[in-house]
């Protein structure tokens, strides 16, 4: 059975996609609440910008490590079970914030929450990929990615209303309840799909040595592009609300609506661009172009928009660029994940997706602190924010270009064949039948981990 041509889908598959979407919505709402509460937290706990930046980065302290560890675990343990445990831990980690809390307690809570949420995106994708063949994954992947957009921005006005109407403590309580509610539904409805569990004609699933997968051109390019895109996401989550209130002088309620714009744009762009990528592949374009170059151009566009932000006064164009800077780069998470799935056997996919996401999210550990330090350097926070966004934009542009030059799944698959790595019939992962050299089984050989 060829994984490329598997036609599963149906009601159950799309039910899993919807639940994975909600899983990511709660995940990113948990991340975003710290930024939306920034003014209240800084005031109540009397923090400097550097201290608050450290608080934002605390979330990512164990984020990447847990992403790798759980990624490997997901190769052997049910994704249903892993996602259930993760969602319960999220809710429990938020509960202490419902009352009076110290900086140390809040810092510890964010570390625990980050460790539990680190594997969320790769595990959710691994669960969804068990229901869809490779050439049908781009759109479901984009739907799951849109859950992050909803959580980071679309629910921002609601979370901000709770903060303004009640308190930031109440916002944390609401998210804890949402996490527990999702866990109950997932326990009743969630299910693992068949892809990756089938062994065709008695042939054992492929195993490519991880050193070849991790250091392949495509994986390295996806790491770099995703790191750049996540740099913008981290700034969005931790600093955008504070920037809009302190530097642009918007009220918290108005700022919440501006913060929602990147998410709305991502919700529109992610599935549209995934569909375009899928059509490009179907029309004969190589995966390097249809997925790699296309996704990296989105990252470069996000960097260009961020670099232009400091040069504009508040107006429609600046608001549009805010939306673009914090949305379009996220397309690489959809296309990059499908690239990883293309070069990686399903028996190792969970681990490589976990490693990829962990490299991406290292940006979340660095970006908030870097911006906080830049803002605190000068006497005027407004100038600090301008410098920070300019530097961030230039960094993202540079990384996007480097990634575009690296990504080349066709070359990686040819290299695997030259190394004599066996690929069983159920593991073939070409994006379209137009690239017959990619869909042919790899020559048998003796490499192993």
Q: What is the pLDDT of residues 385-422, one digit of tens each?
A: 888 899 999 999 999 999 999 999 999 999 888 877 64
Residues 6+ apart with CB under 8 A from 31: 59, 117, 151, 152, 237
Note the pLDDT of residue 6: 42
Per DSSP, the three-state class of 400 is helix
pLDDT at 97 over 50: yes
pLDDT, greater one: 49 or 185: 185
Rounded Cα distance between 359 and 211, Å, is 15
Q: For the residues of 247-299, what is the DSSP string, one character each?
A: TS---HHHHHHHHHHHHHHHHHHHHHHHHHHHHHHHTT--HIIIIIIHHHHHH
Q: What is the pLDDT of residues 315-334, one digit of tens each?
A: 889 899 999 999 899 899 88
Tokens 């996000």 found at: 302
Going from the C-alpha of 339 to that of each of 34, 287, 366, the distances in angstroms are 32, 8, 26
Q: What is the pLDDT of residues 7-38, one digit of tens each?
A: 455 788 899 999 999 999 998 888 878 888 88
Rounded Cα distance between 238 and 45, Å, is 16
Note the pLDDT of residue 286: 92
Closest CA to 118 of 90, 153, 78: 90
Q: What is the pLDDT of residues 355-390, one digit of tens each?
A: 898 898 889 888 988 888 888 876 677 788 888 899
Q: List the chain domain ranges.
A: 8-191+204-439
Contact 238, 365 (CB under 8 A): no
Closest CA to 346 of 139, 140, 132: 132
Helices H / strands E in the chain, number of each: 22, 0
pLDDT at 161 over 70: yes
Residues 6+ apart with CB under 8 A from 352: 71, 210, 213, 214, 219, 340, 344
User: Which DSSP letter does residue 360 get?
Assistant: H
What is the token pair recorded at 61? 């302290």
The correct answer on CATH 1.20.1250.20 for the domain covering 8-191+204-439 is yes
Which pTM was predicted? 0.70
């Amino acid at each position: 059975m060829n994984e490329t041509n598997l036609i599963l889908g149906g009601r159950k598959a799309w039910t899993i996609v919807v639940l994975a979407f909600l899983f990511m919505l709660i995940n990113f709402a948990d991340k975003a609440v710290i930024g939306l509460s920034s003014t209240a937290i800084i005031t109540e706990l009397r923090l400097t910008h550097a201290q608050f930046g450290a608080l934002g980065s605390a979330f990512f302290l164990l984020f990447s490590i847990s992403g790798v560890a759980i990624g490997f675990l997901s190769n052997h343990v049910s994704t249903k079970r892993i996602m259930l445990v993760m969602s319960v831990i999220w809710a429990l980690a938020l509960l202490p914030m419902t009352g009076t809390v110290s900086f140390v307690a809040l810092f510890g809570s964010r570390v625990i929450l980050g460790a539990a949420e680190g594997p969320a995106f790769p595990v959710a994708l691994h669960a969804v990929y068990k229901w869809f063949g490779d050439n049908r994954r781009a759109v479901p992947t984009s739907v799951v990615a849109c859950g992050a957009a909803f959580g980071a921005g679309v629910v921002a006005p609601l979370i901000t209303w709770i903060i303004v109407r009640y308190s930031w403590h109440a916002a944390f309580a609401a998210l804890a309840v949402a996490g527990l509610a999702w866990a109950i539904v997932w326990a009743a409805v969630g299910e693992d799909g068949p892809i990756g569990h089938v062994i065709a004609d008695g042939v054992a699933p492929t195993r490519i040595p991880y050193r070849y997968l991790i250091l392949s051109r495509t994986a390295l390019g996806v790491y770099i592009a995703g790191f750049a895109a996540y740099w913008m996401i981290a700034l969005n989550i931790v600093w955008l609300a504070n920037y809009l209130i302190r530097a642009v002088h918007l009220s918290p309620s108005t700022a919440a609506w501006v913060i929602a714009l990147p998410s709305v744009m991502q919700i529109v762009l992610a599935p549209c661009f995934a569909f375009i990528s899928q059509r490009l592949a179907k029309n004969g374009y190589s995966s390097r172009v249809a997925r790699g170059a296309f996704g990296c151009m989105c990252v470069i566009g996000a960097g260009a928009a961020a670099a232009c932000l400091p040069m504009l006064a508040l107006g429609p164009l600046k608001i549009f660029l805010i939306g673009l800077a914090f949305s379009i780069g996220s397309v690489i998470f959809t296309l990059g994940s499908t690239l990883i799935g293309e070069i990686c056997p399903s028996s190792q996919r969970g681990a490589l997706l976990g490693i990829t996401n962990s490299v991406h999210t290292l940006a979340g550990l660095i970006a908030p602190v870097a911006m906080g330090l830049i803002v605190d350097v000068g006497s005027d926070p407004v100038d600090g924010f301008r410098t920070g966004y300019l530097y961030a934009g230039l960094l993202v542009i540079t990384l996007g270009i480097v990634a575009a030059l690296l990504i080349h799944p066709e070359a990686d698959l040819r290299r695997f064949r030259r190394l004599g790595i066996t690929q069983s019939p159920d593991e073939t992962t070409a994006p379209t039948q137009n690239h017959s050299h990619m869909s042919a089984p790899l020559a048998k050989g003796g490499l192993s981990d």
